C-alpha cells in the first residue's frame, strides 16, 4: 500500500509539472500572437501611406519651375525606398504568421522585435518626411495652391478645346487665347517669386477672368454646337417624312400642303445655316437667337407633319387594317353559319331563338356585299374616292355592330337555355340515381317490399325513360312536363324511402332485441319456444309481428324476474 501511495504521489507531481509546462507554453504563444497582431497593425498603417498628394503639386509646376525637378526625383526616390522596405516587412510577417513560428519562442521573440524596431524606424522616417514636405510646400496654401488649381483647370480646358472645338471651328481664336493665358501663368509666377503682392494679385485676377471667360465661351459654343447638330438631325428626319408623304400613291397630300411644307423647309434650312455661320464666328448671342428661331420653325413643321401622318394613318393604314379584319371575318363566316345551324336545330321550336338566327343571317349577307364593294374600291390604282370608302366602311361597321349585338343576344339566350337543359338533365339523373340506389339496397339487403312500393319504383323508371326519349325530339315539352312532375316524383321518392328505411329500422331493432332476449332462452321452455316462433316471423321478414312478440316476451321475463326477486342485466 505504501508503494502504491508513493506511485500515485509521483504521478500527481508529474501531472502538475506537465500542466505547469503546458500553461507556460500557452501564455508565451498567446503573448507572441498579440505581439504579431500589433506588428501587423503598424505595418497596415504604414502601407496606407500615400505620397502622391505631395508629389503631384511639384509635378504640375515642374514645367514652369525647372528647379523643382530635383526635389521631385528625391521625393520619388524616398517613395520607392519606403515601398521596398514595406514589401520586405510583408515577407517577414508572412513567415512569422506560420503556426510553427509562434512555438519557436526564442527565435520568434528575437526576430519579431527586430522587425518591430525596423517598422518603427520606418514610421519615424515617414513622419519626418511628412513634416519636411509640409514645410516645403507651405506656399501651396496660398498663391501656389491657387496657381495649381488654375493649372489643372487650364489643362482640362485645353483638352476640351482640342477634343471638341478646334477641328470644327476657328482654331486661331483659341490658339491666341491659350498663348495669352500661358503668358499670364508666367507673370503670376514671376510676381510670386519677386514677392510683389500687389502685382501678384492683379495678375491672378487677370488670369482668373481670362480663364473663366474662355471656359464660358468654349462651353457655350460646344452646347450650341450640340443643339445645332440635334436640330439638323431632327430637320433631316422631318424632310425625309415630307418626301415620303409626297411620294405616296393616291395623292396623300394636295398641292397647297406641298407648298406649305416646302416653304417651312426652306426657311428652316436658311435659319440653321445662319446658326452654323454665327457659331463659326463665335457670335454666340446671334447663334442663340437663331437656334430659338429654328426650334420654333421645326416645331411648326413637326406638328404639321404629325397631323398629316395621323390623317393619312386614318385614311390609308386604318383602311387596310379594316379590310384585313372584315376579310378575316368573311373567312370565318362559314364556321359561324355552321354554328347557327346547330343552334337552330337545338332550339328549332323556340321562336325567339329562330328570329335572332334569321336576323344574323340577314346581317351576314349584307356584310358580305359591303366587303365586296370595299375590296373593289380599294383595288383602284389611279384614284381612291375616300369619301365613298369611308361611307362603305361606316355602313359595314354598323352592320358588324348589329351582328355583334345579335350574337351576344343569341349566346345569352342559348346560355340560359343550356342552363335550363343542364338543370333538367341533372334533376332527371338525380331522380333516376336515387331510385337506382334504392333498388340496389333492396336487392343487397334482400328486403321484401310491398307491392305498392315496387309498383311506384317501376312506374317512376318508365316515366324517366319516356321523358328522356321525349327530350330528344321536344326538349321544351319534356322540360315543362318534368317541371310539372317534380313534386310528384319527390313525393313518390319520399314514400319509397320511408317504406324501405322503416323496414330496415324494424329489422335492426329486432336484431338488437333478439340479442337481449336470447340471454334468457334457457331459463324456461316457454321462452325458448316463443323465441323459435319469433325467429320464424323474422325470417319471413314479418318484422312488425316479430318486434311486438319480442317486446311482449321481454315484459313477461321482467315480471317473472320481479316475482322471483331476480336482478336483470
DSSP letters for 490-512:
HHHHHHHHHHHHHHHHHHHHHHH
> Is the per-residue pLDDT at 292 higher than 90?
yes
Distance, in Å, from the CA atom of 389 to the CA atom of 379, rounded to the nearest integer, reads 11
Q: Give tens-digit pLDDT for 7-46.
A: 666 666 666 565 665 566 666 666 666 767 777 777 777 6
Highest mean pLDDT among 22-26, 208-212, 544-548: 208-212
> What torsion do the CA atoms of 60, 65, 68, 72 make, to the nearest 10 degrees?
20
The answer to whether the beta carbons of residues 148 and 140 sit under 8 Å apart is yes
Q: Residue 162: its pLDDT value, please?
A: 84
Distance, in Å, from the CA atom of 534 to the CA atom of 511, rounded to the nearest integer, reads 11
Q: Residue 140: its pLDDT value, please?
A: 44
> Is the per-residue pLDDT at 154 higher than 80?
yes
Distance, in Å, from the CA atom of 132 to the CA atom of 64, rounded to the nearest integer, reads 23
The answer to whether the beta carbons of residues 206 and 273 sit under 8 Å apart is no
Q: Residue 214: its pLDDT value, please?
A: 86
> Is the per-residue pLDDT at 299 higher than 80?
yes
CA distances from residue 365 to 49, 125, 449 in whole angstroms, order as listed: 93, 104, 65
Q: Which residue has the higher pLDDT, 242 or 506?
A: 242
Q: Give tens-digit pLDDT for 389-414.
A: 777 778 878 877 887 887 787 777 77
Torsion sign, CA atoms 249, 250, 254, 255: positive
Could you give the angle at which helices 143-164 and 197-247 cross, rounded to 10 degrees? 20
The three-state secondary structure class of 371 is helix
Distance, in Å, from the CA atom of 267 to the CA atom of 273, rounded to the nearest integer, reads 10
> Is the per-residue pLDDT at 474 higher than 70?
no
Q: Give tens-digit pLDDT for 111-123.
A: 677 777 777 777 7
Helix (H) or strand (E) holding 97: none
> Is the per-residue pLDDT at 142 higher than 50?
yes
> Is the per-residue pLDDT at 296 higher than 90?
yes
Distance, in Å, from the CA atom of 52 to the CA atom of 55, rounded to the nearest integer, reads 5
Nearest CA among 467, 212, 512, 392 for reference residue 204: 212
The answer to whether the beta carbons of residues 227 and 291 sit under 8 Å apart is yes
Q: Which residue has the higher pLDDT, 382 or 257?
A: 257
Looking at residue 252, what DSSP letter applies?
Answer: S
Distance, in Å, from the CA atom of 454 to the CA atom of 496, rounded to the nearest integer, reads 8
> Is the per-residue pLDDT at 136 higher than 60?
no
> Is the per-residue pLDDT at 91 higher than 60?
yes
Instruction: Find the DSSP H helices in 48-68.
Output: 52-62
Q: Which three cell numbers stand for residue 97?
A: 504568421
Report the first-to-last Cα separation within the chain, whole angstroms.
Answer: 81
> Is the per-residue pLDDT at 137 higher than 60?
no
Residue 230: pLDDT band with limits 50, 70, 90? very high
Nearest CA among 535, 539, 534 for reference residue 448: 539
> What torsion do the CA atoms of 500, 505, 507, 508 make, to the nearest 10 degrees?
140
Amino acid at each position: 500500500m505504501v508503494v502504491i501511495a508513493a506511485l500515485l504521489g509521483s504521478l500527481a507531481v508529474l501531472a502538475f509539472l506537465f500542466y505547469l509546462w503546458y500553461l507556460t507554453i500557452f501564455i508565451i504563444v498567446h503573448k507572441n500572437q498579440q505581439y504579431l497582431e500589433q506588428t501587423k497593425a503598424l505595418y497596415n498603417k504604414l502601407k496606407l501611406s500615400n505620397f502622391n498628394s505631395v508629389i503631384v503639386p511639384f509635378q504640375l509646376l515642374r514645367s514652369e519651375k525647372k528647379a523643382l525637378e530635383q526635389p521631385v526625383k528625391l521625393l520619388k526616390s524616398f517613395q520607392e525606398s519606403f515601398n521596398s522596405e514595406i514589401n520586405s516587412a510583408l515577407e517577414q510577417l508572412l513567415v512569422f504568421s506560420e503556426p510553427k513560428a509562434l512555438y519557436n519562442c526564442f527565435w520568434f521573440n528575437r526576430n519579431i522585435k527586430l522587425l518591430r524596431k525596423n517598422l518603427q524606424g520606418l514610421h519615424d522616417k515617414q513622419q519626418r518626411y511628412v513634416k519636411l514636405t509640409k514645410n516645403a510646400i507651405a506656399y501651396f496654401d496660398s498663391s501656389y495652391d491657387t496657381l495649381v488649381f488654375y493649372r489643372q483647370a487650364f489643362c482640362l480646358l485645353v483638352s476640351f478645346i482640342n477634343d471638341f472645338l478646334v477641328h470644327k471651328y476657328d482654331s486661331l481664336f483659341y490658339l491666341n487665347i491659350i498663348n495669352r493665358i500661358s503668358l499670364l501663368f508666367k507673370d503670376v509666377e514671376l510676381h510670386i517669386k519677386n514677392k510683389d503682392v500687389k502685382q501678384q494679385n492683379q495678375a491672378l485676377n487677370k488670369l482668373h477672368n481670362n480663364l473663366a471667360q474662355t471656359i464660358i465661351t468654349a462651353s457655350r459654343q460646344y452646347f450650341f454646337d450640340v443643339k445645332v447638330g440635334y436640330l439638323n438631325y431632327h430637320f433631316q428626319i422631318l424632310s425625309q417624312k415630307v418626301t415620303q408623304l409626297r411620294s405616296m400613291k393616291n395623292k396623300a397630300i394636295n398641292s397647297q400642303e406641298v407648298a406649305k411644307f416646302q416653304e417651312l423647309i426652306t426657311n428652316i434650312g436658311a435659319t440653321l445655316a445662319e446658326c452654323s455661320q454665327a457659331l463659326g464666328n463665335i457670335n454666340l448671342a446671334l447663334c442663340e437667337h437663331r437656334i430659338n428661331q429654328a426650334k420654333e420653325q421645326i416645331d411648326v413643321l413637326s406638328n404639321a407633319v404629325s397631323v398629316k401622318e395621323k390623317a393619312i394613318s386614318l385614311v390609308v393604314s386604318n383602311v387596310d387594317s379594316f379590310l384585313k379584319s372584315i376579310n378575316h371575318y368573311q373567312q370565318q363566316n362559314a364556321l359561324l353559319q355552321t354554328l347557327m345551324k346547330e343552334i337552330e336545330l337545338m332550339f328549332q321550336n323556340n321562336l325567339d331563338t329562330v328570329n335572332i338566327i334569321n336576323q344574323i343571317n340577314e346581317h351576314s349577307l349584307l356584310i358580305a356585299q359591303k366587303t365586296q364593294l370595299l375590296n373593289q374600291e380599294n383595288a383602284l390604282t389611279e384614284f381612291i374616292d375616300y369619301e365613298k370608302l369611308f361611307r362603305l366602311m361606316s355602313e359595314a361597321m354598323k352592320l358588324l355592330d348589329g351582328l355583334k349585338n345579335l350574337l351576344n343576344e343569341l349566346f345569352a339566350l342559348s346560355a340560359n337555355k343550356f342552363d335550363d337543359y343542364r338543370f333538367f338533365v341533372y334533376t332527371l339523373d338525380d331522380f333516376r340515381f336515387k331510385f337506382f340506389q334504392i333498388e340496389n339496397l333492396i336487392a343487397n339487403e334482400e328486403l321484401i317490399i310491398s307491392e305498392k312500393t315496387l309498383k311506384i319504383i317501376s312506374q317512376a323508371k318508365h316515366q324517366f325513360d319516356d321523358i328522356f326519349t321525349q327530350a330528344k325530339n321536344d326538349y321544351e315539352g319534356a322540360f315543362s312536363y318534368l317541371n310539372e312532375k317534380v313534386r310528384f316524383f319527390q313525393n313518390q321518392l319520399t314514400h319509397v324511402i320511408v317504406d324501405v328505411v322503416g323496414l330496415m329500422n324494424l329489422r335492426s331493432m329486432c336484431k338488437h332485441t333478439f340479442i337481449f332476449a336470447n340471454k334468457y332462452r334457457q331459463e324456461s321452455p316457454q321462452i325458448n319456444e316463443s323465441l323459435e316462433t319469433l325467429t320464424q316471423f323474422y325470417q319471413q321478414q314479418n318484422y312488425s309481428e316479430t318486434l311486438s312478440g319480442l317486446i311482449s316476451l321481454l315484459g313477461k321475463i321482467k315480471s317473472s324476474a320481479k316475482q322471483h326477486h331476480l336482478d336483470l342485466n
